[in-house]
Structures are given as structure tokens and as C-alpha cells.
Amino acid sequence: MAGSGAAHLRPPEQSLLRAENLTVEFDLGRKGVVKAVSGISIDVVEGETLGLVGESGCGKSTTGRALIQMPSPTGGSVRFEDIELTALKGEELRSTRTRLQMIFQDPISSLNPRRRIEDIIAEGLEIWDVGTKDERSAKVDEMLEAVGIDPELARGRRPHQFSGGQCQRISIARAVVLDPKVIICDEPVSALDVRVQAQILNLLEDMKQRYGLTLIFIAHDLAVVKNVSDRVAVMYLGKLCEVSAPDRLYSEPAHPYTSALLDAIPVADPTVDVGRSHLEGELPSPLAPPSGCRFRTRCPRAEGLCTDVEPKMRKVSEHHYVACHFPLVETEEPNPVLVDIET
């Protein structure tokens, strides 16, 4: 049951990037207002990889873009290195973005088809006047070699001369060239085949270790996220459902939606009965999300309370939090709403 709250956040001094009550809405005029992201709170500490997962349309990519103010959120706070990003404008915001980079979902369309690979990677260095021309050229070669592409072969070519996997490697080089602190990876492997996916995931981990990166990894596939994340946050219709270390999340999901996502992971052996659960109905429209818990219209455990009261994040166990009135497991912290009703 998707809800709100900040019980899962670490102390502010530990966070490299921290968003509280982040809200993103799009006014469509007569059609209404799209409530893409509704008051979520997330944080990431230096050197960590935070996985952000959920169905298509749940607000994952919008959250990632709002963290770097593309677009600026409708409400809430985003702090990076103790700087309030929502208060920055113009040149201050542009200069801060050099330390916050993004890798996009479609590697081919995210690269300018009319520019050479050398120019694409060097563009940020030129804009910010980093080093001499020879130093910039050497930096481009270093980045290409780091992502496994021969500079001599790639430098003068254009994106259409490369495969999707190679273009994503070039996108990673472009993101890392300005020495950022945080990279937001927006479904960076969803457009690639399984073999290439594994190569790109391994490359991201190598680059993270080599350059001291902090990653926010956005995906709709929990199987992909498991092996790359130190912490996983599950989203549904603009709200957070559950936050946990990946091992605990996969072995003992507390939220019915998380359990359904895990059941959707394919099993190679068709003779194995995995006892899958299936979600009923369609994802509600963000123009008119359900009252109370947004997952209640598809949840097999929903009761009347779920219609009236939005659940808050509460502690399940160490480093494991859930926003659900009736979770699948026992929680360390009781549901304050049920406590009030009983008393």
C-alpha cells in the first residue's frame, strides 16, 4: 500500500543527496493535473547505489529528473552536498549540475546523430573550459578506454555507426567525463538484449569503483536491480511502498506490491511451480489517483481503512521499511493508525 513518511531516511549529515516530500505535478489545463510524484522522500549516501523500481508510469524517471531539477519539482526539498537545489537558479544551478549527471534509457536517441563521438564526450569539458584542447582530447581518450571502446576507431565516427550497447558505453563516458559525484541511471539497460545488459551493468559497477561514483539506478525489473543496488526503493503511482536492502527485500517482501513484482520475474524452468500472485486491474490514472492508499484498488489485502487513511513508512526490521496498513510480515513498529483505533 503506497504511502508517505520519512522514517526510512538516514540522518541528514550522512546523505550525499536527499529529497524530502518531493512532489512533481503537470498541469494539463482542462484535462486536470497529473500527480506524477506525490510527496516521496529518498536519500543516498556517498558510494551507495540506490535502486528505484516500479511499473512503467509509476514516476521513477520523473523522480530522477526532478532530483537534478529537470524539471524543477512542484514542491519539496532536494539537498545535494548540503546545498538546496530547488533554491538555485541560472548559473548556480548549471554549475552544480556538473556534479549530477544522467544516463538515459535510449542510448541511440540520447546522442546527437550529427556530431562525432569525440565532440559528444568533450562537449561538457568545452562548455566549462576544462583544460587545454590537448588535455580535453586526452580526457576523451581516457573515458573511451575506460568504457571499453578503442579511441582510434571511435573518435571520428557518429552514433549511427555503433550498436545500442556501444552507444550506451559512450553515454556512460559522457556522463563521467566531468567527474560527477552522482549519476542517475534512467533504465540504462532496458533497451538492450540480455547479454549486453550484463556487460553494461558490470561496466557501471567498474566505473563506480574506479571513479568513486554514487548511483541512483532506475528500472522496472527487480531482477536487474538486485545485483547492482545497496538499497532498493519500490514506487507505485507516485508513492513509495517499501525501502530495504536487496537481500531482505527479495527474501521477505513486506509490501503486497513488492511481492507481486517479485512474482513477475520469469523463471527459466517451466515445470517449477512458484505459486505466483497476480495483480488485478490496471494501474490507475495519475490524473485521479485513489484516495488513501493508492495501491488499494489492486491489493488483495485491502480493507476499509485503506480507502480512508494513507499509510506511513514504518520500520519492519533493521534497514527495512514499509508503507502498508496490513503488511505481509510482522513489523517492529506498530501501525499508529490501528493503535489509535484499538485504544
pLDDT in tens, 204-242: 999 999 999 999 999 988 888 988 999 999 999 999 999
Q: How far is Cα 336 from Cα 334, in angstroms, rounded to an integer?
A: 6
pLDDT, position 1:
46
Residue 273 pLDDT more than 60?
no
Confidence grade of residue 269 (pLDDT, cut at 50, 70, 90): low
Q: Partners of 294 in the beta sheet? A: none
Whether the per-residue pLDDT at 2 is higher than 70: the answer is no
Other beta carbons within 10 angstroms of residue 239's beta carbon come to 26
Residue extents of the structural domains in the chain: 114-173
Cα–Cα distance measured from residue 173 to residue 339, given in angstroms and rounded to the nearest whole number = 52
- pLDDT score of 341 more than 90: no
| Amino acid symbol at 111 | L
Supply the pTM of this predicted model. Answer: 0.93
pLDDT category, 336, cuts 50, 70, 90?
confident
Percentage of the chain lying above the pLDDT 90 cut: 82
Cell numbers for 50: 540506490
Which of 179-183, 200-204, 332-336 has the weakest average pLDDT?
A: 332-336
Model confidence pLDDT, tens digit, residues 14-43 = 999 999 999 999 999 999 999 999 999 999
pLDDT of residue 338: 65
Between residues 28 and 343, the one the model is more confident about = 28
Confidence of residue 160 (pLDDT cuts 50, 70, 90): very high
168, containing H or E segment: helix 164-176
For residue 341, what are the CA distances in angstroms to 199, 305, 324?
Answer: 52, 10, 16
Give the whole-number percent of the chain exceeding pLDDT 70.
Answer: 94
C-alpha cell at 273: 511451480
For residue 223, the model assigns a pLDDT of 84
Q: Worst-scoring range by mean pLDDT, 112-126, 139-153, 189-203?
A: 189-203
Residue 289, pLDDT > 90, answer yes
- Decide: residue 339, CB within 10 A, 0-12 exposed, 13-18 middle, 19+ buried: exposed
Give the model's pLDDT for residue 197: 93
